[in-house]
């Protein structure tokens, strides 16, 4: 179960960082006006509108992977058996010899005053 947790956590972190990266690569809505005046978007690898469509689809897939790994991690975290007790329960028990109880010395002065 620990191996599965590690794999899902690794995929979760990679998907999260990838979502951040792809969101930062996308152009905002205000960037369309700059593309209309020849900012070089038509000469890009995907064409004028192809990069926006590709980046949005990749972002959506990565967001879905991130969502599914979040659900998987929460399921694994709640399905583990509860560890009962404390750390001290696993500590070895050491027994010490019991010293005899010492009673305090009481003066016998009042014992002499009691009539018999």
Q: What is the pLDDT of residues 57-103, one digit of tens each?
A: 999 999 999 999 999 999 998 887 766 677 777 777 778 777 777 76
- According to the model, what pLDDT value does residue 54 have? 87
* pLDDT of 38 higher than 80: no
pTM given for the model: 0.55
How far is C-alpha 24 from the chain's CA centre? 25
- According to the model, what pLDDT value does residue 7 have? 95
Q: What is the DSSP letter of 105?
A: P
Tell me which of 94 and 51 has the higher pLDDT.
94
Cα angle 89, 92, 97 (rounded to 5 degrees) comes to 120
Q: How far apart are the C-alpha atoms of 64 and 58, rounded to whole Å?
A: 10
- According to the model, what pLDDT value does residue 18 have? 96
Backbone dihedral angles phi then psi of residue 102, each to the nearest 5 degrees: -105, 130
Residues 6+ apart with CB under 8 A from 41: 35, 48, 51
């Amino acid at each position: 179960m620990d191996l599965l947790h590690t794999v899902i956590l690794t995929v979760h972190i990679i998907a999260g960082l990838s979502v951040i990266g792809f969101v930062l690569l996308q152009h905002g809505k205000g960037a369309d006006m700059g593309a209309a005046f020849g900012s070089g978007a038509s000469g890009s690898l995907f064409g004028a509108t192809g990069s926006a469509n590709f980046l949005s689809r990749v972002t959506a897939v990565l967001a879905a992977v991130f969502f599914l790994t979040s659900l998987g991690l929460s399921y694994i975290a709640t399905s583990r058996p509860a560890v009962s007790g404390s750390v001290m329960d696993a500590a070895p028990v050491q027994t010490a010899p019991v010293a005899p109880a010492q009673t305090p010395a009481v003066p016998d002065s009042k014992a002499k005053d009691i009539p018999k």
